[in-house]
Amino acid sequence: MTVWLAVVLGGIATYLTRVTPLVVSVPGAPPPALRRYLDALPIAIIAALAGAGIALPDAEPTHGAELLAGALAFAVAYWRKDLLVAMIVGVIAVALLRAGGL
């Protein structure tokens, strides 16, 4: 039930962000400060989720396997610009590091 409600509410919220400026006339451009805030918002929230996931993974507590694998995934994503490759490298790295006792 939570899933369906989340999907419907999340869907409505998202559609409103897409449609409002196209059907409601807003006088003038948004103020620069608001523009910069909204611009930086997604990367900040996703980074927060990444930080939380590294700090407290779902698996048993480890000794830095997630931090090392995370750094590796970041480097791969930065150079290759490829989400899937970065994810696979991150997952394999964390599995190897955990198996190695980190």
Partner 1 sequence: MRRGTDVIERSPARLALSEGWPVLITSVVVGTTYGVLARQSGLGLLETSASSLLIFAGAAQFAALELLKGGASAGEIAVAVLLINARHLLMAAAIRPFVARASLARRLGLAYVLTDEAFALGIGWFRRPRRELAYYATFGVALWACWNVATIVGSLVGSSFEHPERFGVDFAITAVFIAIVATSVRHRTDLIVAAASALVAAALKLAGASTLAVVIAGAVAPLLALRLRQR
Within 56-85, the residues that bind partner 1 by CB under 8 A are: 56-59, 66, 69-70, 73-78, 81-84
Interface residue with partner 1 among 27, 37, 64, 102 (CB under 8 A) is: 37
Provide the minimum distance between the beta carbon of 1 and partner 1 in the complex, in angstroms, as a whole number: 8
Interaction between residue 13 and partner 1 (CB under 8 A)? yes
Q: For CA atoms 90, 96, 98, 100, give the dihedral sign.
A: negative
d(CA 83, CA 87): 6
For 30, the 3-state DSSP assignment is coil
Interaction between residue 18 and partner 1 (CB under 8 A)? yes
Interaction between residue 21 and partner 1 (CB under 8 A)? yes
Interface residue with partner 1 among 27, 29, 100, 101 (CB under 8 A) is: 29
Interaction between residue 27 and partner 1 (CB under 8 A)? no
Give the up-direction half-sphere exposure of residue 36: CA atoms within 13 A in the CB hemisphere: 3
